[in-house]
Amino acid sequence: MNRCFFSYLREIARRRRPRGPVHLLLAIADHYEPGNGGVSDLVAQGRVEAWEREYPQRFGRFRDSDGRPPRHTFFYPLEMYRRGEMNGLGRLCAKGFGEVEVHLHHENDTAEHLRESLSTYTRMLAKEHGQLARDRVTGEVKYGFVHGDWALDNSRPDGRCCGVNNELDVLRQTGSYADFTMPSAPSVTQTSKINSIYYAVDDPLKPKSHDRGVDVGRGARPADSLMLIQGPLLLNWGRRKFGFLPGVENGCIQGNQPPTGRRLDLWLRARVQVPCRPDWFFVKLHTHGATELNQKVLLGEAMEAFHEELARRAKADRDFCFHYVTTREMYNLVRAAESGWTGDVAGARDFELVWNGE
């Protein structure tokens, strides 16, 4: 948190309990790695099959304020691709429970190799699996991105886990509509800018160009910029370390960090928003959902209880609405808000990008 301490202090005035209409726009960006831990192909395939089987059974009964079931975004890693795993995810997504986007771990890479890798992978996902997004006007394939090991734009001080100082440009040039990596705390890759949706312009001579940027809706979009949609990052005084130090709330859902009503209150207080839609609260969470430990939360009673809590709040408070969205839909809603959209959430889910599977 030392990297963003002053940003955190500047936000104190705005981190108040929301009043008036609240539209929670909830997305889960899953760094979905079936082969995590070096397991066999058989075990990895079994992890995907568990999701394909359990997710509809557990959560098919839930509906948001638009009458839609929970939506999950699987950021599936390029370097771990297995056709059988992708086919399983494709079947789950085709039932309306989510979408697939791009994840990548790499080391000592070059811009040229990265560009070719991403272009080949995204073409394959779109053509052979019907995944990713398409621009509703041009038909161009678009994708959301999460960087492995949090090292977006070569942001580790030691240069590990990336190697490409102009990575933001390469992402934009190969069709990425937005990055969803942040926050990364407690990693050393954490940016100074927090709790924001913003545009970053790459400086090819320096790493970590996304450390700062221009907030969406507060001025014209800079030329040659990439949008970054961050999740919440706050101090959590209700979850203390050593009895007196506040814990860090970073929007992570995992075995020892289940979603709760208390955490939801913090996510809303982060106020990740676009100025002209003060009633829209963008909450982007993250997880590594393929592993058995995290499946116990994401496919278990804790997540069921969280969905029940959302429904309870909406029933008890007419000013509270919640909307399950994929990261593509979240981007569309950001763009709609930026353009001055005054309509409802449902009407802007496909504002700019449509899902390739439709």
Number of domains in the chain: 1
The rounded distance, in Å, linking the Cα atoms of 208 and 164 is: 10
The rounded distance, in Å, linking the Cα atoms of 139 and 7 is: 39
pLDDT tens for residues 129-163?
A: 999 999 999 999 999 999 999 999 999 999 999 99
Angle (deg, nearest 10), helices 41-59 and 301-316: 30
318 CB burial (10 A radius; 0-12, 13-18, 19+) = exposed
| Mean pLDDT (the chain, rounded) | 94
The rounded distance, in Å, linking the Cα atoms of 180 and 152 is: 10
Contacting residues for 295 by C-beta, under 8 A, at least 6 apart: 47, 50, 51, 54, 289
Residue 13 confidence (pLDDT) above 70? no
Give the start-end residues of each E strand in the chain: 22-31, 72-77, 98-104, 133-135, 141-147, 176-179, 197-201, 214-215, 225-229, 234-241, 245-249, 280-287, 320-324, 353-355
**CATH code of 301's domain:** 3.20.110
pLDDT value for 20: 85
Residue 29 confidence (pLDDT) above 70? yes
Question: Predicted confidence band at 242 (pLDDT cuts at 50, 70, 90)?
Answer: low
Domain extent, residue 320, equals 2-14+21-355
pLDDT tens for residues 322-336?
A: 999 999 999 999 999
Residue type, 268: L
For residue 289, which of 275, 278, 300 has the smallest C-alpha distance?
Answer: 300
pLDDT value for 258: 97
Q: Are strands 280-287 and 245-249 parallel, antiparallel or unpaired?
A: unpaired
The rounded distance, in Å, linking the Cα atoms of 206 and 23 is: 38
pLDDT tens for residues 164-175?
A: 999 999 999 999
The rounded distance, in Å, linking the Cα atoms of 24 and 15 is: 16
DSSP 327: H
Arithmetic mean of pLDDT, 74-96: 97
